[in-house]
């Protein structure tokens, strides 16, 4: 369970102190996420190959702090790493699915999945209404 008080870390350990997320599990998850979006014809245009290493580092840094809660600076970091504001609703949903699936496959644990879901939700709200496709 994610703590709702104090520093907002993952409080699932017996000692009551936040359990650290293994950053080594984040790099493969971030790489897998980017492979998935590059393979998806709807998302590929939003993720150009140019700048990919920088975006991967940005995303890994944001995810590393996700268990501490969706503070505005973390939401801004996620919006800088992912083009959420530019995406129509279907693409926003795919993006979240690919990110959570990549993390799940790395066995980051349910607390991390809940924290990233909260971060995605806050980022989507901050980004505003999805872009509408012209008919």
* 77-111 b/e (C-beta count within 10 Å ≥ 16 → b): bbbebbbbeebeeebbebbbebbbebbeebebbeb
User: What is the predicted pLDDT for the residue at 130?
Assistant: 80
**What predicted TM-score, i.e. pTM, was given to this entire model?**
0.79
Give 7-20 pLDDT, tens digit per residue.
333 434 443 434 45
Range name among 17-26, 55-64, 80-89 with the lowest pLDDT average: 17-26
User: pLDDT band at 99, cuts 50/70/90?
Assistant: very high
SS3 10: strand
Give mean pLDDT, residues 21-46. 87
CATH number (1.10.490.10, 3.30.300.30, 3.40.50.2300, 3.40.30.10) of 23-127 reads 1.10.490.10
User: What is the predicted pLDDT for the residue at 38?
Assistant: 93
User: What is the predicted pLDDT for the residue at 22?
Assistant: 57
Give mean pLDDT, residues 54-63. 92
Give 124-133 pLDDT, tens digit per residue.
999 888 876 5
Domains in the chain: boundaries: 23-127
Residue of 44 and 13 predicted with greater confidence:
44
Distance between CA 68 and CA 65 in Å, rounded?
6
């Amino acid at each position: 369970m994610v703590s709702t008080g104090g520093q907002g870390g993952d409080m699932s350990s017996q000692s009551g102190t936040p359990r650290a997320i293994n950053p080594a599990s984040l790099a493969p998850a971030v790489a897998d996420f980017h492979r998935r979006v590059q393979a998806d014809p709807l998302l590929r245009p939003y993720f150009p190959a140019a700048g990919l290493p920088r975006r991967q580092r940005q995303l890994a840094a944001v995810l590393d702090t996700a268990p501490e809660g969706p503070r505005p600076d973390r939401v801004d970091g996620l919006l800088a790493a992912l083009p959420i504001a530019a995406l129509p609703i279907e693409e926003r949903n795919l993006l979240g699915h690919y990110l959570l699936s990549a993390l799940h496959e790395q066995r980051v644990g349910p607390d991390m999945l809940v924290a990233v879901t909260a971060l995605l939700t806050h980022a989507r709200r901050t980004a505003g209404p999805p872009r509408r496709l012209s008919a």
